Structure 1
Amino acid sequence: MKQQTNQQIAMRVSWITMIINIVLSIFKFLAGIFAKSGAMLSDAVHSASDVFSTIIVMIGVKISGKASDKGHPYGHERMECVAAILLAIFLAATGIGIGYTGITKIISGNPNELSIPGMLALIAAIVSIIVKEGMYWYTRHAAKKINSSALMADAWHHRSDALSSVGSFVGILGARLGFPILDPLASIVICCFIVKAAFSIFMDAISKMTDQSCDEKTEEEMRVTIMEQPGVMGIDQIKTRLFGDRVYVDIEIRADGEQTLNQAHQIAQMVHDQIEHRFPTVKHCMVHVNPASSSQLTNNMTEDEKF
């Protein structure tokens, strides 16, 4: 039920941002034409590319939310990582394209390559910065809420568009003030930010597809939770692995070997239930009970007698 709710949140955010991107792209395209601004036309194309990236996110989230089946008994969560990787590649290509355009303009040495744009282009750039930055924070908040790597990648794509609009603003303003070189220089700086964000998204998605363990803080919190359960005498092993944006946990605990099978099962069940309750990202927790040795029982009794 929770997974379906997360999927609904992601789809709603994606639909909202896609509609805003379509309207914003049309506005910037018309502003670029009427204000005779090549920078704004390029920015409009960049905004239109966000529509494509959002579609990738929607497909990835939709597939990852499918229930387990015979061919995929562990679910489809990693498809969201695939979507994040595709977005990272698309984001990097966009950044490199912006940087390449800036470099070629500088190499050409033609200060007249950027024509003097009208005031409408400057207004469009300001509107784009405000709207795209707002979309970044809105999408980022939703991504953190449901722990979605694909949605987070889409958020950074919005941020890249905001940075692109900053470059457009600087270029347009510089051109109006007689310094057209500012446009290509800003493009190169923006390229570096975008490529860095793409690399971070790519590495995060890759780590979630290669069974990387949880961070040490989370594992330590799990250890504390396990040891709080009555009947648990120790932890022999705890292993975690990321599966897309969910976590699988394998635990081996020690308990009194003289207990009945039902008693040992109840202890394991308590550990299982508490781990899945306190850590919402845990999809499944497997608990194995090992019998404590006589020396461990003696040591445990000695410790209890101290209190």
Structure 2
Amino acid sequence: MALEDHLLTEARNPASEAIDTLDASGIVRLMNDEDAKVVAAVRAEERAISRAIELVADRFRAGGRLIYAGAGTSGRLGVLDASECPPTFSTPPELVVGLIAGGPTALTRAVEGAEDDPDRGASDLDGLRPTSRDVVVGIASSGRTPYVLGVVDRARAIGASTVGIACNRPSLLGERVDLEIAPIVGPEVIAGSTRLKSGTATKMILNMITTGAMVLVGKTFGNRMIDLQPTNQKLRLRTRRILRELGGVDDDRAVALLERTGGRLKPALVMAMSGVEAEEADRLLAAAGGQVRGAVELALRGEGP
């Protein structure tokens, strides 16, 4: 019996065995019913996802990076999540990085055999000059993709923390990482097409990991993005609007505060909320680990650095 015969991600789904007899409405209803199972599968992994968020935030604070690695859909999702971090959270492009088997070409077309080469995975990771401060997240719906296994094996060898995301348990990936996240979404509507439920679960988990870690390191105030780099007129206007709304100041005051911080919103918010000057706002933010709320609380208690 082939290995694939034991993988839930390759199994036939009884609910969709007659999908080719359905009309468009029936297909939509069937796929919606199956997709509803993804939320429960991800919820069952809440504890592991929370640990991953805390791990990534800790490594960010220590100067480390988050590195995703995957093949096919899994690789594309990792690259997508990484590419969204700079515009969303004003992070440097090297903070969250995505590796995909076959390189950039594989983002738009299949690269035959790329996922079957563990040595290429190790080599691609080496190209990023990983350190023990990094977190490497291997993504493989099957939990056995050789390229991904090569990446996580090399990551462990250099002392980096490793996380595995797979939609099978047990899996080779789960056995070789420090932390396993395994949403069991069940057989796909189209057998083996892991861009469906498995891909949806993966996208949800990656969203949680990066968003959660960015919140923990102070990239938001409430649910507002506050670590903006006002590099164009739209962002400058957004920065002033957020400062007015959260800092309780008028537009003239917002402009003046931003001028004194070189356009940086976080220290301007601390200034508006606590009445300190720019230099003190920076010191308070450093003492509070980049958290505006914590910096303001320190200022109001008179407990600055």
**TM-score with structure 2 length normalisation?**
0.25
Larger of the two Rg values belongs to structure: 1
The structure with more helix, counted as a fraction of residues: 1
